Structure 1
Amino acid sequence: RQHNLRIKVARIFNTYGPRMHPNDGRVVSNFVVQALKGEAITLYGEGNQTRSFCYVDDLVEAFLRFMATGDEVTGPINLGNPGEFTIRELAEKVVALTGSKSKIEFRPLPQDDPRQRQPNIAKAREILGWEPTIALDYGLKKTIAYFDGLLRAGDGDLARLAAQ
């Protein structure tokens, strides 16, 4: 307002997909890399906490629609997928989709770990006419293929390969 700038404010919830950094600390990239390397999949608590995962292509579509709105639409608007999965379900899907022999390893749940994260996308539906359309399994297959390609392309140094 002070500088009379046009703005749009979006709240992004758990986006994943190809081109993620392998060591970004996010649950999808962690699980996929661990599974592809045959390492234990680390789960905190019993894995009952829920998360929602939005594939990057869906998020880009939401951004394009948001940016095409008039100046009067500033947000904030939540952008994400309201479909919930437990962290354990995600781990099991990743192991199945990679064909990995990785075992799930349980660790203590951090005190500050939220039990649930699920975006309310009512504004995105109403104002942008948008909701995500890409299923988790499809997005995971694309993400797994990306990380598998990185691993096969080099010496296993995913951080170096992802930077190329």
Structure 2
Amino acid sequence: MRNYNPTKRVLVTGGAGFLGSHLCERLVAQGHDVLCVDNFFTGTKTNIAHLLDNPQFELLRHDVTFALHVEVDEIYNLACPASPIHYQHDPVQTTKTSVLGAINMLGLAKRLGAKILQASTSEVYGDPEVHPQVEAYWGRVNPIGIRSCYDEGKRCAETLFFDYHRQHDLRIKVARIFNTFGPRMHMNDGRVVSNFIVQALRGEDITIYGDGQQSRSFCFVDDLIEGIVRLMGTTDEFTGPLNIGNPGEFTMLELAKRVLALTASKSKIVQLPLPADDPKQRRPDISLAARTLSGWKPQTQLDEGLMKTIAYFDQLLSSMNSAALPS
């Protein structure tokens, strides 16, 4: 019955979040009918407000830990709080979101014969002994630590995806997403890019945990979305998991200094104790993605992405300050 219409019906769980909203925007621009599902724990209507009047976009408030009965052709499963502050707020619910959410979305995909993509994470590698991280590496994760609700929840979700693929011949894609940044990040999500930018713009101390020599790789959101859309479009034989991120590696101290320079802020850098189980280094090997996704690679340099993100937060803070002024 669907062969008559080339337009796809696409479900995006977590669609009002940082990544989800950019993905919804991209899919609508491609001409697809998009159903955005979110329980608004970390997502906001502001992120998708510009899409609400588009007839190809539909918003549904729903928690993926409960079954969902809709008719779609493809599913992008992005629902899960992704920053430590948010996923540690209710760790049991975080694990439920990853595991029960995966079960419910996989069950829906099985019933519909739909293709489904899991937004997994570089956190499945834990505090890695292999650097850079390749997809064949199994990881080094603490199963009982304060980050385990997220790390092990995502690892279990990957297990479920591959078991549904083997047992039910389900068409799956698994993307391991590395640190991503850009406009629409949550201002209070505790992630390093948003933290540094907001602190710099407010003239507050920039807080670095530990000695600042731990490293991360930062991918601009447009490059990340391009990667996962291309992954969904690969042949059914390719399932992943696939690293998607930017292999450029920077220490926290280097990032803080770049943010200070780009914002012309007078903020000072201060050091705080390192949180438990915080990975010392993280960088993706994206050679498989380059081969599989038609030569895909990140196009946005760090400073360019930071400037766009700084502009977003600058406007957001200005709006908040204007709203706070007495009328």
TM-score, normalisation: structure 1: 0.91
Aligned residues with identical type, % of pairs: 66
- The equivalent of 2:248 in structure 1 is 83
Task: From 164, 169, 173, give the equivalent of 1:8.
Answer: 173
1:1-164 correspondence to structure 2 within 5 Å: 1=165, 2-128=167-293, 129-155=295-321
**Aligned counterparts of 1:41 and 1:104: Cα–Cα separation in 2:** 5
Q: Point out which structure has higher relative CO (alpha carbons under 8 A, 6+ apart).
A: 1
Contact residue 82 and residue 119 of structure 1 kept, 8 A: yes
Deviating runs (4+, > 4 A) in structure 1?
none
CA distance in 1, matches of 2:173, 2:202: 40
Measured on the aligned residues, the alpha-carbon RMSD in Å equals 1.4
> For residue 204 of structure 2, what is the amino acid of its counterpart?
E
Q: 1:121 to 1:156 in 2, by over 3 A?
A: farther
Listed as ranges, the gaps of 5+ residues in structure 2 are 1-164
User: How far does residue 65 in structure 1 lie from its aligned partner after superposition?
Assistant: 1.3
- TM-fit CA distance, 1:156: 7.8
Shift of 1:41: 0.2
Shift of 1:68: 1.3
Equivalent-residue separation in structure 2 for 1:142 and 1:33 (angstroms): 13
* 1:107 to partner: Cα distance: 1.2
Report the residue type matching 1:136 in the other structure: L
What letter is aligned with 2:186?
Answer: H
The one-letter amino acid paired with 2:225 is V
Deviation at 1:155, TM superposition (A): 2.9
Q: TM-score, normalised by structure 2?
A: 0.46
Amino acid aligned to 1:134: T
Name stretches of at least 5 consecutive residues in structure 1 with no aligned partner: 158-164
Give 1:114 shift. 1.5
Q: How far apart are the structure 2 equivalents of 1:154 and 1:79?
A: 34
Give the superposition deviation at 1:115. 1.3
